């Protein structure tokens, strides 16, 4: 089982009439909507940037916890308790889980 399956997230790709691809992460699980939405607005460059920052946090390298915003979706990294928070919800997930989600997303959008 992939990590995205564990979170009930599906990746989709649609090609428009001009052969331009569009990618989305979607879920039917309400508490994972913000995660899927954040992933959807992360292009290849920003996805890799987030993976790099999460790797630093996992390895104990000091980082700025308020990572930033992508098209209105914020990412906060809490290295001290090994979690991340998407947007301003009260829900956090493990850093390692979010990193794996982003790695799966990166493979999907680059394939």
Summarize pLDDT for 46-86 with one digit per residue, the tens.
Answer: 999 999 999 999 999 999 888 888 888 999 999 999 999 99
Range of the domain at 75: 3-109
- Mean pLDDT (whole number) for 17-36: 95
Number of domains forming the structure of the chain: 1
Sheet holding 66-70, edge to edge: 66-70, 73-78, 83-86, 93-94
Looking up tokens 């390298």, which residue turns up? Answer: 61
**Res 68: pLDDT:** 80
Q: Phi-psi region for residue 9, left (φ > 0), alpha (ψ -120 to 50) or beta?
A: beta
* CA–CA gap between residue 97 and residue 50 (Å, rounded): 13
Please tell me the pTM assigned to this model.
0.93
């Amino acid at each position: 089982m992939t990590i995205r399956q564990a979170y009930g997230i599906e990746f989709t790709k649609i090609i428009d009439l001009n052969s331009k691809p569009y990618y989305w992460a979607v879920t039917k699980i309400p508490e994972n909507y913000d995660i899927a939405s954040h992933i959807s607005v992360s292009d290849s460059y920003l996805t890799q940037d987030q993976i790099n920052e999460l790797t630093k946090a996992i390895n104990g390298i000091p980082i700025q916890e308020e990572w930033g915003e992508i098209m209105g979706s914020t990412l906060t990294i809490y290295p001290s308790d090994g979690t991340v928070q998407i947007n301003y919800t009260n829900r956090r997930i493990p850093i390692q889980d979010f990193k794996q989600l982003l790695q799966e997303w990166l493979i999907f959008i680059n394939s």
